[in-house]
Chain A
Amino acid sequence: MVMSVLRRLGQTLFVLFGISVLVFLVFFATPGADPTARIAGRNASPETMARVRVEYGFDRPLPVQYARMMEKLFVTRDLTSYVNRGQKVVPEILEAAPVTVSLVSGAALIWVVLSVAMGVTAAALRGGWVDRGLMMLGLVGISIPVFWLGQVVNLVTQSRYHDSWLFSWVPGLGYVPLTEDPLGWFRALALPWLTLAVLFVGIYSRVLRADLVAVQSEDFMRTARAKGLSPMRVLLVHGLRTSMITFVSLFGLDFAQLVGGGALLTEVVFGLQGVGRLTYQALSNLDLPLIMATVMYSAVFVVIANAVVDMLYLFLDPRVRDGR
């Protein structure tokens, strides 16, 4: 157990290293483009150019350049943006990260709870109208574009009905840090959470229902029924617990890509300055240091999430624990 955890940790570090090398090569070692000029600015004096070149090691071999870049990213954290001169990139990300993490965690909680409830109910009442209704609802959730939904939510809660008793609690767009004002944080994020969760509630409830229905025909489910257990117990204790294994792997991937910047549209509609928006800005301005930093950040998240999912597997599936 400890060995496999350690091995997984080693793999994680290795993957992160690989990604950083790749990103570095793609953005900074492209032949023909001199990053010095861009970092130094448009009308930089030759002295400034020379200083930047030495500072970033652009006059040295590639491995040194890579090491310098990583040092600036992780150790001194003074990598500066091309576009907003003087703007330090790493603090910018550290500021955006809590916004995104708050947004995605809340939404994830909502979508897990709702989709499990919907999936289990639909599977328990398989073939009936409740089942059909819930699955239709899921399909609707999947097909609503999140950007459009966000706009509608804003239209209703921010302008049209903002003064009605129903939505007067909704604050203006933007983020409120949890540490400053927990209630304000909750209010600011409640609607973004729901909006972001809709798509995933749809997907997860449908996937879970399909899994639960498929597991019904397994031998062990028949055994569980032959033991005289109640249908609910058979479904939850034996069916759901086993179906959780696929559910968790799906969740790990989605959660990671959202925290890594995939919640861009939701962030934009609700005026949240999160990582997705930052990445978008970096890409549209070709702000290489910021791109480098955001990509590294996303990679860290995806890789960590994968590692966490693997650990969860160990916990959920004894067969994996024994390396089978």
Chain B
Amino acid sequence: MLLAVRDLTVALPIGGRLVPIVESVSFTLGAREILGIVGESGSGKSVTSLAIMGLIDVPGARISGSVRFRGRELVGLAPRAYRALRGREIAMIFQDPMTAFTPVYTVGRQIDEQIRAHQKISRSDARARTVRLLGDMGVPDPERVAGRYPHQLSGGLRQRAMIAMALSCNPALLIADEPTTALDVTVQAQILDLLRGLRRDYGSSVLLITHDMGVVAETCDRTLVLYSGLVAERGPTGALFAQPGHPYTAALLDSIPPLHGPRPARLPSIPGSPPAPAGRPAGCPFAPRCAYVHDSCAVRPPLVACGEQDVACVLPAEGRPLPPRFVAEMSA
């Protein structure tokens, strides 16, 4: 197992007290696997990934649980050891490629910098590698692009450069935090293609963070659904799409526009909004918005197996799981 996260809890100080933003999140990621983490805005996707990267630098933050990467415990790892890992074995790409590059240096220089931070290699060798990487990422005229400043490139090119930078040291794990959200649809498809190709060409595993169920369906082997900092459901993407076990997952699936056929006039959206981390209810966090809410939901439901998935809902255990969905055209 490449990455095994168990009971990861990240508590940040808000208004003078520690509030668990992410609570008891567990999942595993195998070699060459793509795991999707989905959830609405504020569900703790970024916090989870930053915790894995050891990049939570809020003073007073507390991270507990276990993150094992290649058998090595990362929670509590010394900063120096973490630094050697970051960028080399675990790399990350961010949502907005415009602001993710330092504006005053050329893209090539920033990629060279990462290579040279981890390997003793000459400037010109680093640049040669940079140019090759950019070319591999489908950047036309990579030599010229390497000499350009971030603002001189289009969003798609910048994100390709970002991915090239992340891959520059051949990381075993790539964390992509909403890599396509800031891009237009065609470019989005190209970048997803690129990510899918990584496991073949680079042998990398990918943790793909998104709030787009469509992206998950097209890209991910397995899926983790987060709701308000808690795991709502996790399992193989196909099974999860065919028969979601959690009402929240089902609601998310209902909100995907169909790929084929007539578009409905309005997509059903989930009424209400998720609770803030500080105001999470004691029972099931989804209860205020759930159509199936009943008395036993007042106790926080543990993750239980349901089909191929694990689901944090009382319904399967009570013998009335959600009905399967028609997914004939969904599986891409």
Question: Contact between B113 and A229 (Cβ–Cβ < 8 Å)?
Answer: yes
Binds A, one of B91-99, B250-258, B303-311: B91-99
Residues of chain A within 8 A (CB-CB) of B55 are 222, 225-226
A322 is an interface residue with CB less than 8 A from chain B? yes
In the bound assembly, the distance between CA atoms of A44 and B57 in angstroms comes to 79
B325 is an interface residue with CB less than 8 A from chain A? no
B269 is an interface residue with CB less than 8 A from chain A? no
Knowing A226-B87, A228-B84, the reply to whether A219 touches B104 (Cβ < 8 A) is no
Task: State which residues 240-263 of B face A: CB under 8 Å.
Answer: none
B53 is an interface residue with CB less than 8 A from chain A? yes
Task: State which residues 31-82 of B face A: CB under 8 Å.
Answer: 53, 55, 57, 59, 79
Task: State which residues 95-124 of A face B: CB under 8 Å.
Answer: none
Question: Contact between A242 and B103 (Cβ–Cβ < 8 Å)?
Answer: yes
Residues of chain A within 8 A (CB-CB) of B113 are 227, 229, 237
Question: Contact between A226 and B86 (Cβ–Cβ < 8 Å)?
Answer: yes
Majority secondary structure, A binding face: helix
Residues of chain A within 8 A (CB-CB) of B84 are 228
Residues of chain B within 8 A (CB-CB) of A181 are none
- CB < 8 Å neighbour of B104 from A223, A226, A318: A318
Task: State which residues 230-250 of A face B: CB under 8 Å.
Answer: 230-231, 233, 237-238, 241-242
In the bound assembly, the distance between CA atoms of A231 and B117 in angstroms comes to 12
Question: Contact between A317 and B103 (Cβ–Cβ < 8 Å)?
Answer: yes
* Chain A: interface residue total (CB-CB under 8 A): 25
* Chain B: interface residue total (CB-CB under 8 A): 29
B152 is an interface residue with CB less than 8 A from chain A? yes
A319 is an interface residue with CB less than 8 A from chain B? yes
Question: Contact between A220 and B99 (Cβ–Cβ < 8 Å)?
Answer: yes
B85 is an interface residue with CB less than 8 A from chain A? yes
In the bound assembly, the distance between CA atoms of A38 and B84 in angstroms comes to 78
Nearest CB in chain B: distance from A167 CB, A: 45
Residues of chain B within 8 A (CB-CB) of A46 are none
Task: Closest B residue to A316 by CB, please name it.
Answer: B104
Residues of chain B within 8 A (CB-CB) of A223 are 94, 100-102
B228 is an interface residue with CB less than 8 A from chain A? no
Complex A-B: 23 CB contacts under 8 Å = A127-B59, A218-B99, A219-B96, A219-B100, A220-B100, A220-B101, A222-B94, A222-B100, A225-B55, A225-B86, A226-B55, A226-B92, A227-B113, A227-B165, A228-B83, A228-B85, A229-B113, A238-B102, A241-B104, A242-B104, A316-B104, A318-B149, A322-B149
Residues of A within 8 A of B (CB): 127, 218-220, 222-231, 233, 237-238, 241-242, 316-319, 322, 324
